[in-house]
């Protein structure tokens, strides 16, 4: 065994019994190379982080330029820092509705926690609504919004006052009443199996929240910033949330999350008491500089439109592979789910694909679904190679 891999197992906390174990040497674009020079195609984009590809030159240049100026100088929200302001201004130009004020965090789970606190403080209500199959992170508050007992039960008791409704069920929305601070939803579920709701669902959820005075929180940690063919997945249904949660691709490869809202909602964190929600490293200047560079690339290269077109082509090719093991292909843009007949077939496919040096895996809360989420910059030749290897793995 590679000595570095041995030290990994000895000194780094393990989160599974059988980690991939790739000894990463470098990564560029869609590819990762190991210490022996073998190339892997990353069809998960570092779990949705590398929308513009690994180590995009514009991102590396922005990191180096910002590092020459300053690193951490003060907790978030106290000192005026050019990268934070620039990225927040750029996000305000893209977000739906009148969402224009950004609170930066370190991660998606932290952004969800901030959104929950903001919703309670603004509405002065306690209850939350979430949806079966949803995934919002692994901190105690975020985990409370998840219905998977495998991950919930070891950490119980979690937050009280959370009700889980069936996803995509319009009739169930009647359970949202005047005691609810917010309904938290992934417009398209990721870890729940790349589940795309019917067209009536998200507009009905928006209307119900409006009717009872609850906030709508859209968790776009996986779907945001172009992955599904729109800047934000909620835009497929013409819906604007009250709070939008981002992370993963936001930092261009560096740790960064955010929750974004209207000014009159967000200002409640500044009083009674002041500093109602604080973070030391959220909105780190390196992460914001990298994020702004990545966003500039996505805008310049029209990556949402590219994701829509390439995703359509991928799903069309993948549907020709439906057979004894693969029974469904679904998704939007370059967020694609492959539904297998059973967990054993899913695992056999993933092992075969990894043997062909494809990085992919089944989703956390649906062991019959493999998620594909390659970098949005993937070119035609690499797409063809990836799809050929997927087909060979199915055979």
pLDDT tens digits for range 162-212? 999 999 999 999 999 999 999 999 999 999 999 999 999 999 999 999 999
pLDDT digits (tens, 9 = 90+) for 282-320: 999 999 999 999 999 999 999 999 999 999 999 999 999
Residues 6+ apart with CB under 8 A from 241: 96, 97, 99, 206, 215, 216, 217, 218, 234
Quote helix, strand, coil % in the chain, to nearest 5. Answer: 40, 20, 40
Alpha-carbon gap, residue 279 to 258, rounded angstroms: 12
**150, 267: one domain:** yes
pLDDT digits (tens, 9 = 90+) for 218-277: 999 999 999 999 999 999 999 999 999 999 999 999 999 999 999 999 999 999 999 899
Name the DSSP class of 252: B
Q: Which of 273, 300, 327 is the last residue of a domain?
A: 300
DSSP strand pairing (215-219 vs 243-246): parallel
User: Looking at residue 1, what is its pLDDT?
Assistant: 79
**135, 241: one domain:** yes
User: Looking at residue 205, what is its pLDDT?
Assistant: 98
Q: Rounded to the nearest 10 degrees, how much is the dihedral formed by the CA atoms of 333, 337, 338, 340?
A: -160
With cut-offs at 50, 70 and 90, classify the pLDDT of residue 364.
confident
For the segment 348-367, the average pLDDT, to the nearest whole number, is 95
Please state the separation of Cα 126 from the chain's center in Å. 26
**278, 339: one domain:** no
Region label for 332, one of left (φ > 0), alpha (ψ between -120 and 50) or beta (otherwise): beta
By residue range, what is the domain housing residue 116?
Answer: 59-300
Could you count the other beta carbons within 10 Å of the beta carbon of residue 234? 28
CATH number for position 11:
3.90.1150.10
Region label for 176, one of left (φ > 0), alpha (ψ between -120 and 50) or beta (otherwise): beta
**291, 151: one domain:** yes
**31, 103: one domain:** no
User: Looking at residue 20, what is its pLDDT?
Assistant: 86
Could you count the other beta carbons within 10 Å of the beta carbon of residue 157? 8
Number of domains observed in the structure of the chain: 2
> What's the predicted TM-score (pTM) here?
0.96
CB 221 within 8 A of CB 111: yes
pLDDT > 90 fraction of the chain, expressed in percent and rounded: 93
**257, 306: one domain:** no
**157, 234: one domain:** yes
CATH number for position 293:
3.40.640.10
**282, 338: one domain:** no
User: Looking at residue 329, what is its pLDDT?
Assistant: 98
**69, 206: one domain:** yes
Alpha-carbon gap, residue 85 to 250, rounded angstroms: 14
User: Does residue 86 carry a pLDDT above 90?
Assistant: yes
Residues 6+ apart with CB under 8 A from 88: 101, 102, 104
Alpha-carbon gap, residue 152 to 21, rounded angstroms: 27
Q: Which pair of structure tokens corresponds to residue 375?
A: 């970098």
How many angstroms separate the Cα of 129 from the Cα of each of 45, 126, 184, 328?
Answer: 30, 10, 6, 29
**258, 340: one domain:** no
With cut-offs at 50, 70 and 90, classify the pLDDT of residue 77.
confident
CB 140 within 8 A of CB 154: no
**47, 69: one domain:** no
User: Looking at residue 15, what is its pLDDT?
Assistant: 85
Q: Which pair of structure tokens corresponds to residue 255?
A: 């740790």
Q: Which of 268, 284, 300 is the last residue of a domain?
A: 300
Q: What would you measure as the largest C-alpha separation in the chain, in angstroms?
A: 62
Q: Which of 276, 300, 324 is the last residue of a domain?
A: 300
**151, 184: one domain:** yes
Alpha-carbon gap, residue 362 to 337, rounded angstroms: 9
């Amino acid at each position: 065994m590679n000595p570095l891999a041995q030290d990994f197992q000895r000194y780094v906390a393990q989160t599974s019994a059988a980690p991939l174990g790739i000894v990463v040497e470098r990564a560029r674009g869609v590819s990762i190379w190991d210490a022996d020079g073998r190339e892997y195609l990353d069809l998960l984009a570092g779990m949705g982080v590398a929308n513009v590809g690994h180590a995009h030159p514009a991102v590396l240049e922005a990191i180096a330029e910002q590092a020459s100026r300053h690193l951490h100088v003060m907790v978030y929200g106290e000192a005026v820092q050019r990268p934070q302001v620039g990225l927040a201004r750029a996000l305000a130009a893209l977000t739906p509705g009148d969402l224009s004020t950004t609170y930066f965090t370190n991660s998606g789970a932290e952004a969800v926690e901030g959104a929950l606190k903001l919703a309670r403080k603004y509405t002065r209500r306690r209850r939350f609504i979430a949806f079966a199959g949803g995934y919002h992170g692994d901190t105690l508050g975020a985990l409370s919004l998840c219905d998977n007992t495998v991950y919930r039960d070891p950490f119980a008791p979690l937050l009280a006052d959370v009700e889980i409704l069936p996803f995509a069920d319009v009739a169930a929305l009647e359970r949202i009443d005047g005691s609810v601070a917010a309904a938290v939803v992934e417009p398209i579920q990721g870890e729940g199996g790349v589940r795309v709701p019917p067209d009536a669902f998200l507009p009905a959820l928006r209307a119900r929240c409006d009717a009872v005075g609850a906030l709508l929180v859209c968790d776009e940690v996986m779907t945001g910033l172009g992955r599904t063919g729109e800047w934000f997945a909620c835009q497929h249904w013409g819906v604007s949330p009250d709070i939008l949660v981002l992370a993963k691709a936001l930092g261009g490869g560096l740790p960064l999350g955010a929750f974004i809202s209207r000014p009159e909602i967000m200002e409640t964190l500044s009083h009674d008491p002041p500093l109602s929600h604080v973070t030391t490293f959220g909105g780190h200047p390196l992460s914001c500089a990298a994020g702004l560079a990545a966003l500039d690339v996505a805008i310049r290269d029209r990556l949402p439109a590219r994701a829509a077109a390439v995703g359509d082509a991928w799903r069309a090719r993948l549907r020709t592979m439906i057979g004894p093991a693969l029974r469904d292909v679904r998704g939007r843009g370059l967020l694609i789910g492959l539904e297998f007949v059973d967990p054993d077939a899913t695992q056999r496919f993933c092992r075969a694909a990894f043997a062909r040096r494809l990085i992919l895996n089944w989703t956390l809360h649906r062991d019959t679904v493999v998620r594909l989420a390659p970098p949005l910059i993937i070119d035609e030749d690499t797409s063809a190679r990836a799809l050929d290897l997927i087909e060979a793995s199915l055979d």
